[in-house]
Amino acid sequence: MTDTSDFVRIEHAQKSFGKLEVLKDISLTVERGQIVAIIGPSGSGKSTLLRAINDLDALTGGEIWLDGVQVNKTLPHRQYEKHINEMRQQIGMVFQHFNLFPHLTVRENVTMAPMLLKDLSKAEANKLAEEQLDHVGMLERIEYYPSQLSGGQKQRVAIARALAMKPKLMLFDEATSALDPELVDEVNQVMKKLAEDHMTMIIVTHEMDFAAAVCDRVLFMDQGVVVEEGPPEVVFKNPVKDRTREFLRKHIEGAK
């Protein structure tokens, strides 16, 4: 598939936890190289949507497509495992709480998956890890354990770990929410750099300024539906919907 207009395609995504309907018929496409921000109040289903894209939380209805391949195919368990592991190698994910592996050094955190899944030799994997860590400015901490790093440093390593798999798409779930304010910027800088490299990204965030600065499109979600979407200038400055306006007003007040 050479058409890039629907590099990521979400069709009628629906998700319930028991009786609770968290995602209600969400459809969305992301072009190759595009950067989409998802904003919305707590509990609106942002994380759930993001986690559905790599099937960490399986949808109860709808389809997810990446680069012409359906991610959440219906397959017998064994085949599905194989399929989803291949898909996930192409989808990097960064979590709010980093989730670095505490028993491994920074280097091992980054090299483990490429060595296991891409049959890289140790030397090749090391070279790859050094490149990626250099990219996020963490090369000098390569032999450290995660417990010896600050939150911002951990998050940068987590990004390098995801990038080492050479993903086609990166998902960020509030990557800076758990950080002290003074550490937020170093992570944002790394994400900006990725944007300059034209990485396709879907970013769940509470930082409107950052979203406005790097994103091509903004999605406002509330109660499991996309209330409004458009370029950041429009959504942030001149939202069409009252609910969006209300949310942004509260958010700006909250920030002060």
Partner 1 sequence: MDFELMLKVYPFFLEAAWLTILLSVLTAILGLTCGALGAAARLSRFRTLRFIGAAYVSVIRGTPALIQLFILYFGGPQIGIQLDAFEAGVIGLGVNAGAYMTETIRGAIITIDKGQGEAARTLGLSQWQAMYKVILPQSARLMIRPLGVNINALIKATALVAAISVVELTYTAQRYIGSTYKPFEMFLLAGILYMIIIYVAGRGIAWLDRKAQIT
Ligand X SMILES: Nc1ncnc2c1ncn2[C@@H]1O[C@H](COP(=O)(O)OP(=O)(O)OP(=O)(O)O)[C@@H](O)[C@H]1O
Binding site for partner 1 (CB under 8 A): 54, 56, 81, 85-89, 91-93, 95, 97, 99-103, 112-113, 116-117, 158, 161-162, 165
Dump the DSSP string for 51-115. Answer: HHHTTSS--SEEEEEETTEETT----HHHHHHHHHHHHHTEEEE-TT----TTS-HHHHHHHHHH
Position 47 contacts ligand X (CB under 6 A): yes
Among 6, 8, 45, 244, binds ligand X (CB under 6 A): 45
Identity of the residue, 95 or 210, whose beta carbon is nearer to partner 1 in the bound complex:
95
Among 34, 44, 47, 72, binds Mg ion (CB under 5 A): 47
Position 46 contacts ligand X (CB under 6 A): yes
Identity of the residue, 160 or 208, whose beta carbon is nearer to partner 1 in the bound complex:
160
Q: Could you tell me if residue 33 is left (phi over 0), alpha (psi between -120 and 50 degrees) or otherwise beta?
A: left
Q: Could you tell which of ligand X, Mg ion, partner 1, none binds residue 48, using a CB distance below 5 to 8 A set by kind?
A: ligand X
Candidate ranges 35-43, 143-151, 157-165, 225-233; the one touching ligand X (CB under 6 A): 35-43
The DSSP element (H or E) to which 141 belongs, if any, is none
Q: Could you tell which of Mg ion, partner 1, ligand X, none binds residue 116, using a CB distance below 5 to 8 A set by kind?
A: partner 1
Position 43 contacts ligand X (CB under 6 A): yes
Dump the DSSP string for 165-182. Answer: T--SEEEEESTTTTS-HH
In the chain, the largest separation of any two C-alpha atoms, in whole Å, equals 56
Candidate ranges 41-49, 78-86, 107-115, 124-132; the one touching ligand X (CB under 6 A): 41-49
Cα gap 125→118, rounded to integer Å = 9
Position 42 contacts ligand X (CB under 6 A): yes
Cβ at position 17, least distance to ligand X in Å: 3
Burial of 245 (0-12, 13-18, 19+ CB in 10 A): middle
Cα gap 77→237, rounded to integer Å = 47
The β-bridge partners of 221 are 226
Cβ at position 128, least distance to partner 1 in Å: 13
Between residue 48 and residue 107, which ones bind ligand X under the rule CB under 6 A? 48
72 within 8 A of 56, measured Cβ to Cβ:
no
Q: Could you tell which of ligand X, partner 1, Mg ion, none binds residue 146, using a CB distance below 5 to 8 A set by kind?
A: none
135 within 8 A of 160, measured Cβ to Cβ:
yes
Residues binding ligand X (CB under 6 A): 17, 20, 22, 40, 42-48
